[in-house]
Amino acid sequence: MKKTAIILLIVVLSATNTYSQYGEYRYFSFKGGMTHCLFNPQPNANINKFVNTPIGEMQLIPDTSYFGYVPGYFAGLIFNYDLQNDRTGLMIGASYENIGFENKYHLSIGDRWMIDSYHVNRVSFPVLFKIGRKIYKEQKFIFIGGSYDINLSLYKTESSSWSTNKKKIKLDKSMLVKNNYSVILGINYMFFSAQVDYMFGSYLSKDYEVTLPNQQMSKPFSGYPNGYFIFKTNLNIPINSWTTRKIYEVEVWFRKVFK
């Protein structure tokens, strides 16, 4: 996994060096903002998952109708290679991301419930094509592509109806899938950007095993579904003369309004 990350980083740096004669249409941009995990799928009803409660160890039944929302964050650096026709271009880069998702369960007896909120820290390497009428002069375009995502660590926060305390724990890395692939579709309007990622597969390893109280082996994540939608809203700041001109235009506008 580390070798893959190093290779991808070298590719990104090589591409930037190749075109680092820069010119107006070759530039970096900073992206940073929020991630929003919506409509994340819930485990199927056959999951073999248990929890210790004040009345003993109980089986958890997934709430398949639960609508969860978990925010996160991300920040990255993108290299832009815009063609001089000002209609198409390429973006490649790297970003550090915190992605969340959660699952709700009911206990097999009574009306008690528990929510597991997960956060995955990962490094993402996107490759995107952008299309628009004036992608450089106006920074207005749509983009489409994909990313290779390397998962680094996994945290879980437990909340339940029988306790007011939330317990956050770092989970063993063996519970986490090493990497994922995503497809991306988004839109950029000047300094603002929004996109939706669809990640194939699951974050939690379906091969991970635990020992149950009866000494039998179980795979607690085997019933977890594949496929997650991740929405992102963020700032996209080109590091070039376009940004300088826009800042100057805003400054002039403020002077006129507040003189």
Percent with pLDDT over 70 in the chain: 79
Query: What span, in angstroms and rounded, lies between the C-alpha atoms of 22 and 129?
Result: 19
User: How crowded is the C-beta side of 137, counted as CA atoms within 13 Å?
Assistant: 7
Structural domain tally of the chain? 1
- Model confidence at 36: pLDDT above 70: yes
Burial class (CB in 10 A: 0-12, 13-18, 19+), 227: exposed
| pLDDT at position 75 | 95
pLDDT at 16: 47
Residue 93 has pLDDT above 50, yes or no: yes
93 with 74: CB under 8 angstroms?
Answer: no
Among 12-21, 47-56, 74-83, 240-249, top mean pLDDT goes to: 74-83
Of the candidates 22, 133, 26, which has an alpha carbon nearest to the alpha carbon of residue 80?
26
Q: What is the pLDDT, as a whole number, of residue 147?
A: 96
> Residue 164 pLDDT > 80, yes or no?
no
Can you list the alpha helix ranges (DSSP code H) found in the chain?
A: 2-18, 241-258
Q: List, in sequence order, every residue forming a beta bridge with 221; answer none if it has no partner.
A: none
Which tens digits make up the pLDDT trace of 173-197?
A: 888 899 999 999 999 998 999 999 9
Give the model confidence (pLDDT) of 194-210 as tens digits. Answer: 999 999 988 888 888 77
pLDDT at 38 (0 to 100): 79
Domain of 32 in residue numbering reads as 2-258
Rounded mean pLDDT, 85-110: 87
Strands (E), 135-204: 140-160, 163-170, 179-189, 192-199
Q: Are 29 and 135 in contact (CB under 8 A)?
A: no
Angle CA 251–255–257, to nearest 5: 115
pLDDT one-digit tens code per residue, 106-144: 876 767 888 888 899 999 999 999 999 888 888 999 999
Whether the predicted pLDDT of 81 surpasses 70: yes
What does the pLDDT average to over 55-71?
77
The CA distance from 3 to 151, in Å, is 14
Are 177 and 202 a contacting pair, CB within 8 Å?
yes
Query: Among residues of the chain, what percentage have pLDDT more than 90?
Result: 36
